[in-house]
Amino acid sequence: MTKSGRRPLMAGNWKMNLNWREAHLLVQQLAARLNEQQLTDVEVVVLPPFVDLRSVQAAVEEGKLKIGYGSQDISQHAKGAYTGEIAGSMLTALGCTYAVMGHSERRQYHSESDEIVNAKVQAALASGLTPIMCVGEGLDIREAGNHVEYTVAQLDGGLKGLTAEQVEKVVVAYEPVWAIGTGKTATPEDAQEVIGALRKRLAELYPGGTADKVRILYGGSVKGSNAAGIMAKPDIDGALVGGAALDAEDFSKIVCFSEN
């Protein structure tokens, strides 16, 4: 454990990549590169497409792997006539422990508002899943200098109505949109500025130690070569990784950031 007892979390968002066979193989390749100690020091999670979850579950169970997995989205509804949606209970039945909501690609292409993100956080918690709630500003907002208040407002909206006990279970991922998939990483200082402000806001909203328990990740072009610098910042507890998570070698380097 580091940073006030918060265990680092490295979560690989595979986005819409890999079929079920490729998914099975990638989990095995990743596990083969990480030893027991590394998987104890750092929590490793993969977030495959829904249709790959069964084969990821099989790979994890067959190999008794200490790798967690979850979904890239979750329905805000528990069940019923919601064509194309996937409920939290369906995810836990497959052994998922995490669900992402509010990724910038879903905010942008699927009109996922803070209200919907909030409903999805609540749905995940109700199913026993750990939400990974994404926030982050676009380039226009960053250039106007409004990135801190913008992301803090997204945090407020996404956590609306939650108790301190519920918030302690949430993982927040700060992903500046301009740094996702672009190769442009925010500097560790840029990431710390916003993540520190998010933690400060959590402390205001939930006095009594909650803010120290919540893990806040950085995401946006994280690679083996830049993970250590990002992780050196006091409020950054891990990474949400896109492109580099599709490569077992690079993702395992991110997991082993402390050895670089």
Residues of the shown chain interacting with ligand PEP in the complex, contacts defined by CB under 6 A: 13, 15, 175, 180-181, 219-222, 240-244
Is residue 175 part of the annotated active site? The answer reads yes
Least distance from ligand PEP to the Cβ atom of residue 100, Å: 8
Residue facing ligand PEP at closest CB distance: 242
Is residue 110 part of the annotated active site? The answer reads no
Cα separation, 246 vs 249, in Å, equals 9
Q: Which amino acid is at 167?
A: V
CB 167 within 8 A of CB 199: no
| Catalytic residue of the set 103, 112, 137, 147 | 103
Residue 140 has what DSSP assignment?
A: H
- Looking up tokens 């994890």 gives 60
Q: Which is nearer to ligand PEP, 176 or 211 (CB)?
A: 176
Q: Which helix (H) or strand (E) holds 219?
A: strand 215-219
Q: Which is nearer to ligand PEP, 101 or 240 (CB)?
A: 240
| Catalytic residue of the set 43, 112, 137, 175 | 175
Q: Which is nearer to ligand PEP, 72 or 127 (CB)?
A: 72
**Angle ∠(186,181,176) on CA atoms, nearest 5:** 40
Least distance from ligand PEP to the Cβ atom of residue 223, Å: 8
Classified as helix, coil or strand, 79 is coil
Least distance from ligand PEP to the Cβ atom of residue 5, Å: 25
Cα separation, 39 vs 44, in Å, equals 7
Query: Helices (H), strands (E): how many in the chain?
Result: 13, 8
Q: How crowded is residue 180: how many other Cβ atoms within 10 Å of its Cβ?
A: 20
Which residues are the active-site residues? 103, 175
